[in-house]
Structure 1
Amino acid sequence: MLDTYFNFLQNIERTLGGGRGVKYGLPSTLQKVIALFRVDAAEIRLNQPILAELRLPSQFGDFNRITSETPYTEAVITGAEGHLGTLVLYGSRQWSDNELRVVHLIAQQLGVALENATYFAQMKLKTSELKWIDKFGDSLLNMLSSLQIQEVAGRIMSATKDLLEVEEASIMLKDYESGDLMLWSHTPPEKDLSIRLKPGQGIAGWVVEYGKTAIVNDVKKDPRWEPAIDEKGGFDTRSIIAVPIILDDEIIGVIEGINKVNDIFDESDAQLLRTIAKWSAIGVGNANTYEALKHTTEQLADAKKQTAMAHMVLNLAHKINNSVGAVRVWAMEMADELKATPHPSMEMRLMVENVLHNAEETLLMVRRIRGATELRPGDIRPIEVIEAMETALQFSRVDAAVKVERHYEDGIPRVGADAERLVEVFLHLMNNATDVMNGRGTLTLTCRRAQNGTVEIMIQDDGQGIPDHLRSKIFDPFVTSKSDGLGLGLWMVKLYVELIGGKISVTSTVGKGTIFRITLPPWEK
């Protein structure tokens, strides 16, 4: 059924056309929603007169059957600018969790499409009011006609070059973790640039810091100019015009035109670039909303695969537990018989002891698999994270040849977890790091408070890194680069971290090393 919902969501995206197809696509989409969920009617309630402005109906289906006592379910319709309204489905039925998730995803898609449709309508109005926009309307509308983030970037750059008549263009966006400006898109796109500016640095940094337009027709005479950027990119910048990109009253970046062709920049160019920046903000905001929606939709599809794999491993663990448990009982009986034998064979005694030892090891592994997937009453308690990391380090395979660097912040809040299982998580990651460094190198342990209040733990090695073909599936069961490994360790680590409300991710560069990053919510009494 998840495949049906996933295909249905993709079909809605095509029908609505990112907002361009709303006039004909909205009635068709709502009728399909009614048929899919077998409800009587659907209604869109918006906080703004969007439907009236677009001359679209708000009710669909058989409202003659709807009374004040008819059961219904609701989903919030949101857009780049926040809450737009509510999607209401009327009908007497039982809703599953997956169905409710799909209804919410449909509402989000409606929000993006309706908001885009209003932008298109507003743009048409502007083109009739401003003669110079009438000339450039197609280019500006083209910037909003895609929801693919890279395509949006390319269209903004193309529009900026064509409309401003400049040699090159660029967009820099804020990195909200560091506050730096990062180059997001530029022309020519084939140049691989990784440029970062500190707040206030360069002309772009000044524009973002003060929220003002900068017109510089001779950069060599401007004290804000950063010549290092030209050196890195191989440019010859002579003049720049730059304006802030503002979304929801917040400056999110800067858009620049570089080197006016056969002319100098003036206020008319600034007026045009401010208009491009306004629609760029809308395009970036819509594309980001779409990317978030796409990610959620993909998670629905991925949930089916993850659930199936989890059930398979747990069923296998159950069968192993029963079989090995029986072997353990028989081995214990044999050990008792050997104790009662006057002159037992030493070889037989060692064999029975080995069977018992291996059985205990296997049963311990089964208990760990089960422990990673279920919480029992009293499992969650306040735990000191740094203390758990140090305990794991003490029992790890890290030896004297490995240099350990610690970066622990003071005042780290406790997290909710089972102490033994959390130590096992850190122990597994530290042992993996030691193995890939072949017992030498640098192991870096970090524990700090993230900006959003969560506790961030990083375990970093400078080994050979994770091969490209394994990186995207490193947390799947039975995936391993070790010849003698089962491939369950990282899968169990991920399951337990998520079980206690956390997240785990990995970044790795072949030949340079790997960082495992865990974020955990602070303990709440």
Structure 2
Amino acid sequence: MRQRLAELESLETERQRAEEALRSRDRNLTLLGQAGQDLTATLDLQQVTEQLLPVATEIIEAEGASVWLRDDSLESWLVCRTAYHYSYKHSPVDLRVRSGQGVAGWVAEEGESVIVRDVQEEPRFFSGIDEQTGFRTTSLLAAPLWSRDRVIGVLEVVNKRQGEFDEYDLLLVEALAASSASVIENARLTETLRQRTVDLQACYKRMSELSRALSDDLRGPLGLIVSFAQVLEADYATLSEEELRHYLHAISQRGSEMVGVIDDLLAVRDEPSREMTAEITSLDMAIVVDEALERLYYMIGDRDVDIALPETWPVALGHGPWIEEVWVNYLTNGIKYGGQPPRVELGAADQGDGTVRFWVCDNGPGLAPEEQVRLFAPGARREGEFEMGLTLARRIVEKLGGQVGVESEVGQGSLFYFTLPLAG
């Protein structure tokens, strides 16, 4: 009788275990189904990945999970897009591993799932993530995220709360990975499309501003060219040689101004997309400045500009043609908005921190603080006119590792400066 009772108790225990296993599987299937519905309800990548991970940890009964996606700019790298842990606060989000590095990197490269029951015995395990976050990984599951015949990332689940990860756990993770991969890819494409739309809108706005700038800045010199040409047409026979030379010189000067406006416009237009590259050398700044002054020869003569130059120049690193363009824009700005007549002083000084500061100081009316803040920004205006040249100068100097700026007080003139690395 006792043996029979023991057998019945054993059978009851087995029945209860079987029922619990069935309930657990039913619960997991329900969670998987609900997760699938939730994932397809949004095209926001962050929401998709954040919804996925709590489900993964609950179904697998793990401590945490993370999604690693291929970097948009560097396909050979994986970046942790989001992570979830039911109690641990430090996250590996934005950390990176190379494809092939660590278990996640291996899964991304090979396209195969893996169970690691003890990371201490797993040669593919990369401890660098734990070292950076302070988390302690003991075991993990990782499954590839396949979409359109390519692995776009990895779903990783870590640290089984009770017992060890088994094949059934891996099956569940693979099911989650399969149902979420295409959703993640679509959300990622949607995110890219949104960003492209924002970029296009910004580009359209920028081109509209630059079109207005072109109209505003060309109207003045073009009007003068037309006026001078009309005078020549009407009175050519009665004009002296000196008067003819004056009008032709004026037309030439205004035409040069128009070419400068168009060059600046094209440079600023291409700023978001054009990659500026050049050889960096030690600059003989005296030669660079002379070239800039030669380009402004007629403007300086027409306006009777007083130019003050230093006897010597510190040697800085840069690209001569680019820095010549900066000087032309700074000088044009100083002459255009200087006093009557304009006086423009050029100078330079070793900053003592590995940089050289160059400047152009004018005798104009000066600038209010609010004008100084926005002067180098795209689309900035000064006295109603667009300052494309200063925008171009900022971009050039920053590309060369320097900075631009202005110091001014109303009624005291303005000093425009830029810095470059010191040579040697």
TM normalised by structure 1 equals 0.45
Corresponding position of 1:183: 80
Write the distance in 2 (CA, Å) between the matches of 1:173 and 1:431.
47
Letter in structure 1 aligned against 2:170:
A
In structure 2, the CA distance between the partners of 1:262 and 1:490, relative to structure 1 (3 Å rule), is: farther
Identity of aligned residues (%): 23
- CA-based RMSD of the aligned residues comes to 5.3
Write the distance in 2 (CA, Å) between the matches of 1:170 and 1:513.
40
In structure 2, the CA distance between the partners of 1:325 and 1:424, relative to structure 1 (3 Å rule), is: farther
Q: Give the C-alpha shift of residue 364 in structure 1.
A: 3.7
Q: Are 1:221 and 2:121 an aligned pair?
A: yes
Q: Give the C-alpha shift of residue 184 in structure 1.
A: 1.6
Show CA shifts across 1:93-136 (max 9, x none): xxxxxxxxxxxxxxxxxxxxxxxxxxxxxxxxxxxxx9552343
Aligned to 1:187, the other structure's residue is in SS state strand
Show CA shifts across 1:213-245 (max 9, x none): 111111112111122211101101111111111
Pick 1 or 2: higher relative contact order, CA cutoff 8 A, min separation 6. Answer: 2
Instruction: Within 5 Å, give how 1:432-443 maps onto structure 2.
Output: none
Match of 1:196 among 96, 110, 116: 96
Q: Are 1:239 and 2:134 an aligned pair?
A: no
Corresponding position of 2:60: 164
Instruction: Within 5 Å, give how 1:382-461 maps onto structure 2.
Output: 389=278, 401-403=315-317
Asked if the contact 1:170/1:255 (under 8 Å) is kept, the reply is yes
Match of 2:180 among 277, 280, 284: 280
Corresponding position of 2:48: 152
Q: Are 1:363 and 2:227 an aligned pair?
A: no
In structure 2, the CA distance between the partners of 1:218 and 1:390, relative to structure 1 (3 Å rule), is: closer
Match of 2:164 among 236, 260, 264: 264
Greater CA radius of gyration, 1 or 2? 2
Asked if the contact 1:393/1:427 (under 8 Å) is kept, the reply is no
Segments of structure 2 that go 5 or more residues without pairing to the other structure are 1-24, 270-274, 290-312, 330-347, 356-372, 405-424
Q: Give the C-alpha shift of residue 146 in structure 1.
A: 1.1
In structure 2, the CA distance between the partners of 1:284 and 1:489, relative to structure 1 (3 Å rule), is: farther
Aligned to 1:237, the other structure's residue is in SS state coil
Match of 2:37 among 127, 138, 141: 141
In structure 2, the CA distance between the partners of 1:304 and 1:143, relative to structure 1 (3 Å rule), is: same
Q: Give the C-alpha shift of residue 270 in structure 1.
A: 0.6
Q: Give the C-alpha shift of residue 311 in structure 1.
A: 3.1
Q: Give the C-alpha shift of residue 512 in structure 1.
A: 9.9
Asked if the contact 2:114/2:143 (under 8 Å) is kept, the reply is yes
TM normalised by structure 2 equals 0.54
Q: Give the C-alpha shift of residue 426 in structure 1.
A: 9.6
Instruction: Within 5 Å, give how 1:336-355 maps onto structure 2.
Output: none
Asked if the contact 1:220/1:238 (under 8 Å) is kept, the reply is yes
Asked if the contact 1:215/1:241 (under 8 Å) is kept, the reply is yes
Asked if the contact 2:213/2:386 (under 8 Å) is kept, the reply is no
Letter in structure 2 aligned against 1:308:
S
Asked if the contact 2:67/2:155 (under 8 Å) is kept, the reply is yes
In structure 2, the CA distance between the partners of 1:491 and 1:400, relative to structure 1 (3 Å rule), is: closer
Aligned to 1:183, the other structure's residue is in SS state strand
Write the distance in 2 (CA, Å) between the matches of 1:225 and 1:281.
24
Show CA shifts across 1:45-74 (max 9, x none): xxxxxxxxxxxxxxxxxxxxxxxxxxxxxx
Write the distance in 2 (CA, Å) between the matches of 1:427 and 1:359.
21
Write the distance in 1 (CA, Å) between the matches of 2:225 and 2:328.
28
Q: Give the C-alpha shift of residue 203 in structure 1.
A: 1.1
Corresponding position of 1:210: 110
Aligned to 2:80, the other structure's residue is in SS state strand
Asked if the contact 2:67/2:82 (under 8 Å) is kept, the reply is yes
Write the distance in 1 (CA, Å) between the matches of 2:388 and 2:55.
50
In structure 2, the CA distance between the partners of 1:428 and 1:301, relative to structure 1 (3 Å rule), is: same
Q: How many residue pairs are counted as aligned between the two chains?
A: 298
Aligned to 1:258, the other structure's residue is in SS state strand
Asked if the contact 1:321/1:366 (under 8 Å) is kept, the reply is no
